[in-house]
């Protein structure tokens, strides 16, 4: 299986969905104006991600030291040994017991996710996927499903512009606002952990490393704390060099895949998704907090992505939705809404008409 093209014609979401659905192994290379990202897949799961030129914030050694998991002196020794032995840094850290295997696996997983989420903010680029076996340190890797990356990646893409407006500089410093909020405004454990790291001295980038939740989730937490009046910006006369957050692309239609998977995560983890939509879906708006509406949008978008992938692979649109199931691009359950209501599909000249049982029709050219 060889897949090649541009991100404008075939987005990163469709690429990940295709590779994940067909459980392919191989190497995906995405080339942008300023960087090249390489992603390794094993059985449809993501097992490695790297960027060239290297991004300091995603350097494993820096992530480990700034998260307080290893001492800078240990890192320096491990880097020297890695260079001399030509072994990966993480393997040296594991062999010398400078870092715990669990910490190495978790930080590598976080590194992979950070690199992948950045791809959802790319406006332009070229991609090429070459199927085949891949080499990686399996014992130090937590495989990441394409479904998880798709779900979280769409949230990043949709919510990033507002986060970048609220927190435009990773060198900003926050401190806890004065007052006792314990009895009137309790924080959930994850937000409280980030809240307790704020001391007026640490930068946002410091908090990202120490919190180990990733850039997006950390900024989300800080934005919530700001809105609730729990924290305030520290104004410094000697501000460091400004480092703006990455530029966000124009808002486009969200695409969710794996509707059942998404709802399970919603119920288990309490993930809050923003499903405001515009453009291709007409008709009455379904509220974001409606589970029925969310499921309908998830399933409809999964089918839409499947139709795009099918056309790329076979050069034409499928005659019926069952063709997507036969091609392994979606499950049979995706063709029917709960209670057995079927989705309607019809080819229309150069486009198609896809209609959800509870949402108005979506037409695609």
10 Å Cβ neighbour count for 13?
24
28, 43: one domain: yes
> What is the mean predicted confidence (pLDDT) over 37-56?
95
117, 185: one domain: no
174, 119: one domain: no
* pLDDT band for position 353 (cuts 50, 70, 90): confident
186, 108: one domain: no
Whole-prediction pTM value?
A: 0.65
Q: Compute the chain's Rg from CA coordinates.
A: 22
Determine the pLDDT at residue 205. Answer: 94
Distance CA 37, CA 50 (A): 6
350, 269: one domain: yes
Residue 250 located in a structural domain:
no
> What is the mean predicted confidence (pLDDT) over 88-97?
94
Which residue range forms the structural domain that includes residue 190?
168-233
Residue 238 located in a structural domain:
no
> What is the mean predicted confidence (pLDDT) over 231-250?
56
180, 290: one domain: no
98, 196: one domain: no
Residue 100 located in a structural domain:
yes
Sequence-separated (6 or more) residues with CB below 8 Å from residue 76:
none
141, 10: one domain: yes
141, 90: one domain: yes
Of 162, 190, 223, the last residue of a domain is: 162
Distance CA 216, CA 158 (A): 11
């Amino acid at each position: 299986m060889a897949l090649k093209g541009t991100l404008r014609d075939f987005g990163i979401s469709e690429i990940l969905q295709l590779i994940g659905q067909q459980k392919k192994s191989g190497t995906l290379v995405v080339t942008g104006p300023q960087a090249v990202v390489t992603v390794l897949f094993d059985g449809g799961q993501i097992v490695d991600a790297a960027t060239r030129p290297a991004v300091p914030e995603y350097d494993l050694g820096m992530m480990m030291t700034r998260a307080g998991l290893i001492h800078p002196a240990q890192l320096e020794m491990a880097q020297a040994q890695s260079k001399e032995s030509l072994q990966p840094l993480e393997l040296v850290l594991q062999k010398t017991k400078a870092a715990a295997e669990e910490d190495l696996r978790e930080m590598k997983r976080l590194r992979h996710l950070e690199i992948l989420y950045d791809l959802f903010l790319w406006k332009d680029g070229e991609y090429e996927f070459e199927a085949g076996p891949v080499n990686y340190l399996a014992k130090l890797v937590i495989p990441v499903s394409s479904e998880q990356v798709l779900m979280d990646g769409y949230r990043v893409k949709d919510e990033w512009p507002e986060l970048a407006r609220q927190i435009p500089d990773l060198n900003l410093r926050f401190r806890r606002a004065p007052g006792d909020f314990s009895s009137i405004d309790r924080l959930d454990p994850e937000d409280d952990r980030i809240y307790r790291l704020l001391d007026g001295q640490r930068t946002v980038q410091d908090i990202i490393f120490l919190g180990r939740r990733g850039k997006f989730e950390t900024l989300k937490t800080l934005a919530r704390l700001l809105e609730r009046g729990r924290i305030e910006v520290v104004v410094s006369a000697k501000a460091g060099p400004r480092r703006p957050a990455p530029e966000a692309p124009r808002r486009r239609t969200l695409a969710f895949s794996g509707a059942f998977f998404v709802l399970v995560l919603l119920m288990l983890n309490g993930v809050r998704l923003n499903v405001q939509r515009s453009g291709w879906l007409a008709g009455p708006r379904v509220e974001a907090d409606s589970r029925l509406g969310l499921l309908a949008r998830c399933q409809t978008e999964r089918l839409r992505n499947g139709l795009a992938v099918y056309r790329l692979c076979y050069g034409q649109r499928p005659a019926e939705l069952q063709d997507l199931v036969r091609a392994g691009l979606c499950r049979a359950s995706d063709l029917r809404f709960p209670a057995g209501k079927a989705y309607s599909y019809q080819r229309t000249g150069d486009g198609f008409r896809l209609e959800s049982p509870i949402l108005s029709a979506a037409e695609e050219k």
